[in-house]
């Protein structure tokens, strides 16, 4: 079989199957796609389906926020490298330029058999295909004493927005020579290098404003993403300020108390002047409600991102089990294009091309000291498999690190345009 | 008047000679490139371009806007990333999994866009 016939095969198959399974097409009504979640996965999927189908698919995006603050680059906001407004985006481009019906509500429940989404207001949306890209839910009870109530004084900051503002404010107002305690999350979680970039950005703020302050990182993991690069960066830029304590040393994180600002481990009780506590995570609640999760996350078919539990539901981004792909905005954006292509093929008979995925995570350690890790992937029969990968090297020149940081700024501009324009 | 040729001038002469030869050789190898670009699968190019669009959008620090880039120039640059003659870990990886047909489809698609 040539590469061309292999490429077209899916499209032809999709067209035939669609003709049989989608009676609405026979009567000329536009097929309906509902996307739940307007982040890197959902916004991209909605935009690509609407844009590439040129109006032949009716797309509705359900997203509670009228202004979306990206999790990616929220650490740079905390460190003072970005203005808060620069990480906020609205849905004008999707609604006006791409004629997507943007509904600013919470999706409350999903009926897979009836193919309907019920909104928190009680309104109902029907769909031929549903895209779920709800991001994460925080498992507050994974740390004793942590709760939505506790997150005011011990913010997780893992959903950007106000929580990120609280973390920055805590650092800015911390007493001289005080201690900031960061409780890192267990695997798997959104943004693997995120906790360590955050530590870097907090250290960057403290170095200028409060140089005798200390940062203690309590980690439930033995190792973490770009560990060598981060620890070398902390020694170079913030000597003596950051102390990372792994599970072998602290013996387990037992509880937190937001009133006394104490974090209890087997080893010791740490008294914090300011803290960031990131609990374990699971797929967004609506994915659990839709019945597409197995345990905490939603298994998918790699070639299309369709749920293994329901062929009419596609799960993107953090909520999905994407095997080797990390939970990142870049991954979600990449998966969204694969799903959009598959959904268009199924609904309109357009050509379906081979699934291809990519990811790169850039992290900033200090001014002009950027590092990156990335890979590209293909759809295996059961899992998404790595094709090739790279990571920044420890002995790179400062010139290369500066270029890497500048590249991340270009990427931010690119991906947010790809999501929202 | 006799002129002494310095080492630097001699090196430059050889560099120009080698580069010219290389260019001619490459041009012969790519005699059909324009034709291949003209016949490229634009739909495939558009799909593959989704991968590029995550980063290449706006003219900002770090990453260039590639909309409207000359197709033959696009092919030359992507082949150079693929063979790792051009530096950048992300681009070497992205180009590394593209075959000539895919690079040409991308080149045709991006050159058709307005900048």
Q: Do domains A3-135+284-355 and A139-280 have the same CATH topology?
A: yes
pLDDT band with cut points at 50, 70 and 90 for residue B82: very high
Residues B37, B4 share a domain: no
Name the residue of chain B whose CA is nearest to A391's CA.
B89
pLDDT band with cut points at 50, 70 and 90 for residue A29: confident
Name the residue of chain B whose CA is nearest to A417's CA.
B57
Residues B99, B67 share a domain: yes
Task: Tell me whether residues A353 and B44 touch, CB distance under 8 A.
Answer: yes
CATH number of the CATH domain containing B103: 1.10.760.10
Give mean pLDDT, residues A172-180. 98
Residues B22, B57 share a domain: no
Task: Tell me whether residues B93 and A388 touch, CB distance under 8 A.
Answer: yes
Whether residue B101 lies within 8 A of chain A, CB to CB, comes out as yes
Nearest to B54 by CA among A345, A404, A317, A40: A40
Task: Tell me whether residues A374 and B90 touch, CB distance under 8 A.
Answer: yes
Residue B26: the pLDDT is 57
Nearest to B27 by CA among B76, B67, B65: B76
Residues B39, B25 share a domain: no
Residues B24, B38 share a domain: no
- As its CATH architecture, domain A3-135+284-355 has 3-Layer(bba) Sandwich (3.50)
Helix locations, A22-39, DSSP H: 23-26
A410 Cβ contact list (under 8 Å, min separation 6):
B55, B58, B60, B61, B62, B63
CA of A177 vs chain B CAs: smallest distance (Å): 37
Predicted interface score ipTM higher than 0.90? no
Task: Tell me whether residues B94 and A358 touch, CB distance under 8 A.
Answer: yes
pLDDT tens, position by position, A264-274: 999 999 999 99
CA of B63 vs chain A CAs: smallest distance (Å): 5
Distance CA A271, CA A258 (A): 10
Query: Hey, what CATH topology would domain A139-280 get?
Result: FAD/NAD(P)-binding domain (3.50.50)
Domain ranges of chain A: 3-135+284-355, 139-280
Residues B108, B58 share a domain: yes
pLDDT tens, position by position, A64-98: 999 999 999 999 999 999 999 999 999 999 999 99
Residue B28: the pLDDT is 52
Query: Hey, how many other C-beta atoms are within 10 angstroms of the C-beta on A228?
Result: 13
Domain count across chain B = 2
pLDDT tens, position by position, A378-400: 999 999 999 999 999 999 999 99
Task: Tell me whether residues B43 and A387 touch, CB distance under 8 A.
Answer: no
A352-357, long-range: CB < 8 A, 24+ apart: A352/A10, A352/A11, A352/A14, A353/A7, A353/A10, A353/B44, A353/B47, A353/B48, A354/A6, A354/A7, A354/A378, A354/A379, A355/A302, A355/A303, A355/A304, A355/A379, A356/B48, A356/B51, A356/B97, A357/A322, A357/A325, A357/A331, A357/A384
State the residue range of the domain holding B82.
32-112
Distance CA A355, CA B50 (A): 11
Task: Tell me whether residues B51 and A411 touch, CB distance under 8 A.
Answer: no
Give mean pLDDT, residues B11-18. 50
Residues B45, B6 share a domain: no
Residues B41, B4 share a domain: no
Q: Are A298 and A320 in contact (CB under 8 A)?
A: yes
Mutation pick from A336, A338, A358, A385 vs chain B, by most beta carbons of B within 10 Å, is A358
Residues B44, B88 share a domain: yes
Cβ-count burial of A279 within 10 angstroms (0-12 exposed, 13-18 middle, 19+ buried)?
buried
Q: Are A350 and A48 in contact (CB under 8 A)?
A: no
If residue A281 lies in a helix (H) or strand (E), which one and from where to where?
strand A280-283
Q: Given the structure tokens 């062929």, which residue do they identify?
A: A311
B24 Cβ contact list (under 8 Å, min separation 6):
none
Distances (CA, A) of A91 to A28, B45, B78: 29, 28, 34
Say yes or no to pLDDT of B24 above 90.
no
Average pLDDT value for chain A: 94
Task: Tell me whether residues B97 and A387 touch, CB distance under 8 A.
Answer: yes
Distance CA A164, CA A297 (A): 25
Q: Which of B62, B94, B96 sits opposite A410 (nearest CB)?
A: B62
The two tokens of residue A185 are 């999350």
Residues B108, B88 share a domain: yes
Say yes or no to pLDDT of B37 above 70.
yes
Q: What is the DSSP letter of A96?
A: I
């Amino acid at each position: 079989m040539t590469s061309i016939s292999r490429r077209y095969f899916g499209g032809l198959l999709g067209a035939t199957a669609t003709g049989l399974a989608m009676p609405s097409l026979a009567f000329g009504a536009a097929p309906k796609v509902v996307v739940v979640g307007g982040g890197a996965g959902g916004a991209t999927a909605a935009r690509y389906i609407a844009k590439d189908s040129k109006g032949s698919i009716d797309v509705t995006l359900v997203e509670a926020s009228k202004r979306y603050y990206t999790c990616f680059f929220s650490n740079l906001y905390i460190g003072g490298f970005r203005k808060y407004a620069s990480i906020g985006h609205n849905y004008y481009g999707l609604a006006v330029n791409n004629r997507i019906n943007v509904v600013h509500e919470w999706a409350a429940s999903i009926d897979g058999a009836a193919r309907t989404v019920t909104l928190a207001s009680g309104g109902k949306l029907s769909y031929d295909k549903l895209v779920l890209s709800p991001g994460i839910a925080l498992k507050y009870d994974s740390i004793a004493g942590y709760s939505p109530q506790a997150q005011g004084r011990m913010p997780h900051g893992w959903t950007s927005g106000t929580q990120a503002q609280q973390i920055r404010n805590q650092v800015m107002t911390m007493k001289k020579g005080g201690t900031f305690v960061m409780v890192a999350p267990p695997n798997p979680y959104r943004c693997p290098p995120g906790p360590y970039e955050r530590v870097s950005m907090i250290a960057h703020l403290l170095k200028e404003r409060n140089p005798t302050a200390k940062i203690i990182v309590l980690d439930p993991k033995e190792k973490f993403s770009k560990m060598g690069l981060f620890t070398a960066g902390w020694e170079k830029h913030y000597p003596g300020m950051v102390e990372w304590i792994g599970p072998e040393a602290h013996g387990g994180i037992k509880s937190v108390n937001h009133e006394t600002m104490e974090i209890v481990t087997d080893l010791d009780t740490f008294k914090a002047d300011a803290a960031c506590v990131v609990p374990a995570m699971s797929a967004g609640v609506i994915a659990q409600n839709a019945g597409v999760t197995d345990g905490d996350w939603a298994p998918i078919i790699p070639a299309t991102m369709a749920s293994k539990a329901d062929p009419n539901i596609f799960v993107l981004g953090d909520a999905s089990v994407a095997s080797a792909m990390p939970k990142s905005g870049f991954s979600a954006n990449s998966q969204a294009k694969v799903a959009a292509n598959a959904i268009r093929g199924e609904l309109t008979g357009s050509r379906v091309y081979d699934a291809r995925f990519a990811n790169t995570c850039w992290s900033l350690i200090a001014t002009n000291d950027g590092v990156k890790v990335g890979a590209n992937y293909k759809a295996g029969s059961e899992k998404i498999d790595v094709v090739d990968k790279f990571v920044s090297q420890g002995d790179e020149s400062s010139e290369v690190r500066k270029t890497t940081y500048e590249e991340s700024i270009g990427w931010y501009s690119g991906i947010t345009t790809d999501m929202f324009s | 008047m006799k002129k002494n040729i310095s080492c630097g001038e001699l090196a430059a002469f050889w560099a120009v000679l080698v580069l010219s030869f290389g260019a001619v050789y490459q041009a012969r190898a790519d005699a059909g490139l324009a034709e291949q670009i003209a016949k490229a699968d634009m739909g495939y190019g558009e799909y593959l371009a989704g991968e590029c669009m995550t980063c290449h959008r706006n003219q900002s620090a770090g990453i260039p806007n590639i909309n409207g880039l000359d197709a033959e120039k696009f092919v030359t640059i992507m082949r150079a990333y693929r063979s790792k003659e051009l530096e950048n870990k992300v681009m070497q990886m992205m180009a590394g999994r593209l075959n000539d047909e895919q690079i040409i489809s991308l080149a045709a698609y991006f050159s058709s866009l307005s900048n």
